[in-house]
Chains A and B, each alone.
Chain A
Amino acid sequence: MSALFVLICVSIVVAIGFLAAFIWSVRSGQYDDDYTPSVRMLFENKTPSKENKSIKK
């Protein structure tokens, strides 16, 4: 029966870990904007160089 005590304590500790993760994710603003990052990741990081541009034309 004492296993039950330990198990419940462990499960609650694990659950609190997830709660902390949730609180952290809210605090760090991950829910503030759920659209722009999806667009932003599609942009090229590099600046197209001058030569590239003239070829494109």
Chain B
Amino acid sequence: MQLNYQKQKVENQIQCYHCGEPVNVTPIIFDQKDFCCDGCKLVYELLNENNLCTYYTLNSTPGIHFNKTIPSERFTYLDNEEVKRKLIHFIEGNEVHVIFYIPKMHCSSCIWLLENLQRLNTGVISSTVNFLKKDVTVVFMDNAVKLSGIVELLTNIGYEPLISLNDLEHKKEKKANKEGIIKIGIAGFCFGNIMMLSFPEYFSLGNFYDQHELKKFFGMINLMLSLPVFFYSASEFFISALKGIRQRFLNIDLPIAFAILITFTRSIFEIISGTGAGYLDSMSGIVFFMLIGRYFQNITYDNLSFERDYKSYFPISVALLKDKKELSIPVSDLKKGDRILVRSNEIIPADSILKSDSTYIDYSFVTGESRPIKKIQGELIYAGGRQLQGAIELDVEKEVSQSYLTRLWNKDSSDVIASDSQSFIHKVSKYFTIALFMIALSGFLYWTFSSDLNRGLNALTAVLIVACPCALLLSATFTNGNMLRIFGRNKFYIKNAMVVEKLAKIDTIVFDKTGTITHGSSVQFIGMQLSKEENAIAASVSSNSLHPLSRKICEHFSSDLNYTVQNFEEIQGKGMKALLNGMHVLMGSEYFVTGNRSTQNSTTSKVFFSLDGNVLGYYSINSSYRTGITDLIKDLSKTYNVHLISGDNDAEKDVLQKIIPFENLHFNQNPEDKLEYIKSLQQTGNKVIMLGDGLNDAGALFQSDVGISVSDDINNFSPSCDVILDGDSFKKIKQLLQFSKSGKNIIFISFVMSILYNLVGIFFAVQGQLSPVIAAILMPASSISIILLTTIASSLFSRKNGL
């Protein structure tokens, strides 16, 4: 360890022992180890005290950087009985089981530490991690430690759990999933055994099978094996078909349920009357393969469970002031006239009137405007802004559900919902169902009137079985399922299979600027060479200011804020003055610092910096474009209409004009304008993708046919988007879009194949020439071949597109 430490020092690249971030100025040394900030050091101290340093030996620098202090009252809402009841998974006496979702979990050290929580707090009995789901189940004694205490502990060691109202309002039933697997298992088991016992029937094994006793015995065993399939495994088809009938909708489950019912009753009749062997093998086969299809569908749907729910964006508990005491209540309980307390960096939960003297509100979530707005006592503050100063008091004006923001987020155009359910598959399957019943019935009637009832029954069941639409259903489910997996592997997370179908139809792409085609911002110092101390001085001074440029500088040198600033004074629109270690520091506009006015027009923002009257130069702050963005957009323009709408000013017009046609560039757009713009594009018949980030594009993302939220930290998703795209995969957009088109081709090919199969099958079945036994062998065979075709084809297409 000592050697390693020295080596690192020689390379002049000191890494924080806890989080691995490079240490910029002077490392905080503790226990002969370097730390980048107090936060990291505190975690180390805590772990060291409790003999938990194995954490650092499993992986080097496994920690999570966090340099902020969390007010201890922040989690007190968790002790509110109502919130607690919703969050707790299971309770027995004093023993409480809670599951927390921890997105920051990333390595085996995390697992180790999170499973050793009982050594940090004696109230914890045990903790178990599920790494793939990134959750931890904590069992603790209610009388020894509070729920908020557990969350505080997790936060203090760097693993802050993600708790949102979504968790509180509907807890997912995980049992349903297990139930599904058991249903498949039982259906598969019975299917296999019934098939085996039906072999003599398939191959008409002559004299041997003619023995009546044996035939009857096999029949009875088959009947017994089919009971759990019919009553347990297949129950969901019947339930769904019944629901469909009740809502006057012929869903895809209806013919399946009908075929199952007919084959089952006919088989019972044949077996009991001794007239035949029945078709229980085909019945259990249908159930088995359909259940597998459903299972895959559910997996793909569950993988991304995000909702268009505004509530997940608000802080879920609010500090209510009542009789000069602080109470934590859920945000949905807020009423008009309530006095609430909002701490620094919290989001304003509802439209309210400021009761404290003054504050600064950052509305960048709502309007995209990053400059904080000053509000004074008595002014109305709209929901969604981030409060930047110390704790303030507010009087609630409107309840959460009525606020301006909620309206923006809930702008559900009803046609969006309508088109959702009218997807490609649904339309086809509806007509398929009707046509199928017509054919089956007419076949049945024809043969019955030709006084051949047996042949008529044969035709009826054979048509329903052989033409089982599952091949059609499976083709889409499996193709989309596999495509969602491939998309996900490329960090393109899609909400559901419907979105893949929509992606294929896209002809127009609308980009937002900030955070979408630009990525972060670069801070550069131009002028004299600055020492680390001088940078630290600038950062420390900037940390006192709320100006966005100051905050950029501050973020850039976030680990170096180790000077105390005296006599800080900020002059709005000019700059700031401060006294630091006896030096006079001036930072701000060129005129303010140097006394000169520059005549040059510039697209970058400059912050000048002087120490004791010596102008050292300026910080140039520039938002930088993502690498390769020019080529990407040019490439996209060949096949798509490319538009850009930005909330910013048109400073970068000249650059953008070269890659995007002038008439498609729009600046100074507020969220409403963006939404309207998307709407107008859609009205001219375009299918629009909107790529944006965060909440300020929420309305536009929702309005667009496919809303893609570009996120550089994947946990910052927006509730109104259909797709989350990791910033790293931004350059792959073209390939991804092309791939979605090939998905439609794959579905189309397998559709054609299965329709061909159906036509040939029905052709023979209607004539009563196809025995249901053969139909039952053909049906699973066709399903399996379709599954193989779609999976192999989608993987091939993805390779062809370079994904």
Interface set of A (CB-CB < 8 Å, partner B): 1, 4-5, 8, 12, 15, 19, 22-23, 26-27, 29, 31-36, 39-40, 42-44, 47-50, 53, 56-57
Return 14 A-B CB contacts under 8 Å, by A number. A1-B214, A12-B193, A19-B186, A22-B185, A23-B182, A23-B185, A29-B178, A32-B130, A33-B130, A39-B111, A42-B108, A43-B112, A43-B115, A49-B51
Distance in angstroms between the alpha carbons of A43 and B107 in the assembled complex:
13
The 5 A-B pairs of least Cβ separation, nearest first, read A36-B131, A33-B130, A39-B108, A19-B189, A35-B132
Whether A26 pairs with B182 at a CB distance below 8 angstroms is yes
Majority-rule SS of B interface residues:
helix
Residues of B within 8 A of A47 (CB): 51, 119
Distance in angstroms between the alpha carbons of A27 and B132 in the assembled complex:
19
Distance in angstroms between the alpha carbons of A26 and B201 in the assembled complex:
34
A50 to chain B, nearest CB (A): 7
Interface set of B (CB-CB < 8 Å, partner A): 1-2, 32, 51, 53-54, 58, 108, 111-112, 115, 119, 128-133, 174, 178, 181-182, 185-186, 189, 193, 197, 211, 214, 217, 221
Known: A15-B193, A40-B111. A33 touches B131 (CB 8 A): yes
Whether A36 pairs with B132 at a CB distance below 8 angstroms is yes
Whether A36 pairs with B185 at a CB distance below 8 angstroms is no
Whether A36 pairs with B130 at a CB distance below 8 angstroms is yes
Residues of A within 8 A of B111 (CB): 36, 39-40
- Chain B CB within 10 Å, residue with most, of A12, A27, A36: A36
B59 to chain A, nearest CB (A): 11
B541 to chain A, nearest CB (A): 39
B111 and chain A: residue at smallest CB distance: A39
Residues of B within 8 A of A15 (CB): 189, 193
A27 and chain B: residue at smallest CB distance: B178
Known: A1-B211, A36-B132, A50-B51. A31 touches B115 (CB 8 A): no
Residues of B within 8 A of A4 (CB): 214
Whether A44 pairs with B54 at a CB distance below 8 angstroms is yes
Distance in angstroms between the alpha carbons of A30 and B221 in the assembled complex:
31
Residues of B within 8 A of A42 (CB): 108
Residues of B within 8 A of A49 (CB): 51
B186 and chain A: residue at smallest CB distance: A19
Residues of A within 8 A of B193 (CB): 12, 15
Residues of A within 8 A of B214 (CB): 1, 4
B50 and chain A: residue at smallest CB distance: A47
Whether B2 pairs with A33 at a CB distance below 8 angstroms is no
Residues of A within 8 A of B2 (CB): 57
Whether B221 pairs with A12 at a CB distance below 8 angstroms is yes
Distance in angstroms between the alpha carbons of A26 and B181 in the assembled complex:
8
Contact of A48 among B53, B58, B217 (CB under 8 A): B53
Residues of A within 8 A of B1 (CB): 56-57
Distance in angstroms between the alpha carbons of A53 and B131 in the assembled complex:
28
Residues of B within 8 A of A23 (CB): 182, 185-186
Distance in angstroms between the alpha carbons of A53 and B56 in the assembled complex:
12
Contact of A39 among B32, B119, B131 (CB under 8 A): B131
Whether B182 pairs with A8 at a CB distance below 8 angstroms is no
Residues of A within 8 A of B129 (CB): 36, 40
Residues of B within 8 A of A1 (CB): 211, 214
Distance in angstroms between the alpha carbons of A53 and B53 in the assembled complex:
9
Whether B133 pairs with A33 at a CB distance below 8 angstroms is yes
Q: A19-B189, A22-B189, A48-B54 are in contact. List 16 more A-B contacts (CB 8 A).
A: A4-B214, A12-B221, A22-B185, A23-B186, A26-B185, A32-B174, A35-B131, A36-B128, A36-B130, A40-B111, A42-B108, A43-B115, A47-B119, A49-B51, A56-B1, A57-B32
Residues of B within 8 A of A43 (CB): 54, 58, 112, 115
Contact of B178 among A26, A39, A57 (CB under 8 A): A26
Distance in angstroms between the alpha carbons of A49 and B51 in the assembled complex:
8
A39 to chain B, nearest CB (A): 5
A5 to chain B, nearest CB (A): 6
B219 to chain A, nearest CB (A): 13
B216 to chain A, nearest CB (A): 11
Distance in angstroms between the alpha carbons of A47 and B54 in the assembled complex:
9
Whether B132 pairs with A5 at a CB distance below 8 angstroms is no
Whether A31 pairs with B181 at a CB distance below 8 angstroms is yes
Whether A33 pairs with B51 at a CB distance below 8 angstroms is no
Residues of B within 8 A of A44 (CB): 54
A3 to chain B, nearest CB (A): 12
Residues of A within 8 A of B211 (CB): 1
Distance in angstroms between the alpha carbons of A34 and B181 in the assembled complex:
15
Distance in angstroms between the alpha carbons of A19 and B211 in the assembled complex:
31
A44 and chain B: residue at smallest CB distance: B54
Distance in angstroms between the alpha carbons of A23 and B187 in the assembled complex:
12
Residues of A within 8 A of B186 (CB): 19, 23
Residues of B within 8 A of A57 (CB): 1-2, 32
A51 to chain B, nearest CB (A): 11
Distance in angstroms between the alpha carbons of A15 and B225 in the assembled complex:
12
Residues of A within 8 A of B54 (CB): 43-44, 48
Residues of B within 8 A of A22 (CB): 185, 189
Residues of B within 8 A of A19 (CB): 185-186, 189
Whether B182 pairs with A5 at a CB distance below 8 angstroms is no
Residues of B within 8 A of A50 (CB): 51
Distance in angstroms between the alpha carbons of A19 and B130 in the assembled complex:
27
A32 to chain B, nearest CB (A): 7
B211 and chain A: residue at smallest CB distance: A1
Distance in angstroms between the alpha carbons of A31 and B186 in the assembled complex:
16
A17 to chain B, nearest CB (A): 11
Residues of A within 8 A of B51 (CB): 47-50, 53
Distance in angstroms between the alpha carbons of A23 and B180 in the assembled complex:
11
Residues of A within 8 A of B112 (CB): 43
Residues of A within 8 A of B32 (CB): 57
Distance in angstroms between the alpha carbons of A48 and B55 in the assembled complex:
11
Residues of B within 8 A of A33 (CB): 130-133
Residues of B within 8 A of A8 (CB): 197, 217, 221
B127 to chain A, nearest CB (A): 12
Distance in angstroms between the alpha carbons of A37 and B564 in the assembled complex:
49
A43 and chain B: residue at smallest CB distance: B112
Residues of A within 8 A of B217 (CB): 5, 8
